[in-house]
Amino acid sequence: MLAARRGELAALGHLDGVHAPLVAPILRLSMVDDSVVDLLGRLPAGLVPAVDVSALPDGVDAELARWDMPLMPVICLTDDDRRLATHGVAARAYTGRAVVWLRIGQDRAGPDATTAIVERIWRYARLTPEQCDLLVDCGELGCPADVRAAEPRARRALAWARRHSWCSVSVVAGGMPSALSRLPTDEPVRLYRWDWLLWQRLADLGVGFGDYGVAPVAPGVELPGDRLPTVRYTGDEVWWIYRWSRRGGRGEERTADLCRALVSAPHWPPGGANFSWGDHEIFRRARRVAGAGSMTNCLAWSTSHHFAHVLEALRRPARGGARRAGPSPPPRSRAPRGGESRRVG
């Protein structure tokens, strides 16, 4: 689940032919402009995004069949009859498929009522269950208590999902805080990936994994004037947050110093600069062979590394069973400079 911003779209655009077919991006649109349409048109072959237009008013922009590119519509349980029909046209025009987005924090109907809702979706969109991918969205998770509360609710939703012949079923959640400006600077700060922990607890059900990348579920507002270079670097159970203010005024010096610290840290991947496009760009800044880059660039590098890390982690055999308890420390703990990341098998 990604906001359709330049940073996330740039990371998607740099997926190679091996990884692109393994990623199923769902792009949330808050507005449509020429730059977004242009970047969507330059995504790699084999990468067909689903697009959520629920934040857009009815009109041409919300009619994906008019976009003249392969897309999948995202259908909300609250969509009205007209929008459902429009989504059905878009699905049949391109892929013959759609994503049905079930938000367990907002869509609180019981199983029979939910069945009636999705039957209405299939009827007005003129789709079958086999043409729909179900996304069970658990929303924002910020601590172990959130994970414990979300797991039984997700299991109930997934038990209901087995009543129907969905094309696929995935669980999605987000764990990144909505603002990072209160975190310490000039040292890597460790934040736990509670979304990954929830999926590990549910993986015995055979569901797909989804998240919100390195962004929060509901993007927050950073403190005024806090525009420090920031990299959100995904590890096995954690994100390492690098916010750098060293070397004073010049952004180029701060970014280079940040990247040098990252490439020398124990959580820098074995593949190094070859691990992902984003890692290659970070390595170039560490060696001072490229300019500082912008906040958008930092988001793109972070997202690119996140894609590569998640795909690599999903290929590993589980150790100790999918319902491993996982970490239970406080959600935010300051790591020593260059501290070790705890590995997950």
Among the ranges given (75-79, 172-176, 191-195, 333-337), the one the predictor scored with the smallest mean pLDDT: 333-337
Task: Indicate whether 234 and 130 sit together in one domain.
Answer: no
Same-domain pairing of 128 and 186: no
Residues 68 and 13 in one domain: yes
Kindly state whether residues 231 and 145 are assigned to the same domain.
Answer: no
What percentage of the chain carries pLDDT values higher than 90? 65
Q: In sequence order, what DSSP letters do the residues of 170-210 get, joined into one string?
A: EEEEE-S-S--TTS-SSS-EEEE-HHHHHHHHHGGG-PEEE
Count of structural domains within the chain: 2
Confidence grade of residue 222 (pLDDT, cut at 50, 70, 90) = low
Cβ contacts of 39-42, under 8 Å, gap ≥ 24: 39/6, 39/9, 39/10, 39/13, 40/4, 40/9, 40/67, 40/69, 40/71, 41/69, 42/13
The answer on 293 and 227 residing in a single domain is yes
Q: How high does pLDDT run on average in the chain? A: 87
Q: Does 110 reside within a domain?
A: yes
Same domain membership, residue 239 and residue 138: no
**Does one domain contain both 292 and 146?**
no
- What pLDDT, on the 0 to 100 scale, is given for residue 209? 96
Residue 105's pLDDT band, with cuts at 50, 70 and 90, is confident
pLDDT in tens, 130-168: 999 999 999 999 999 999 999 999 999 999 999 999 999
Same domain, 167 and 296: no
Q: Residue 86: its pLDDT value, please?
A: 96
Domain residues for 323? 182-190+223-345
Kindly state whether residues 85 and 233 are assigned to the same domain.
no
Residue 248 banded pLDDT, cuts 50, 70, 90? low
The predicted-structure confidence for 166-198, as pLDDT tens digits, reads as follows 999 999 999 999 888 889 999 999 999 999 999
User: 2-50: per-residue pLDDT in tens?
Assistant: 999 999 999 999 998 888 989 999 999 988 877 788 888 889 988 999 9
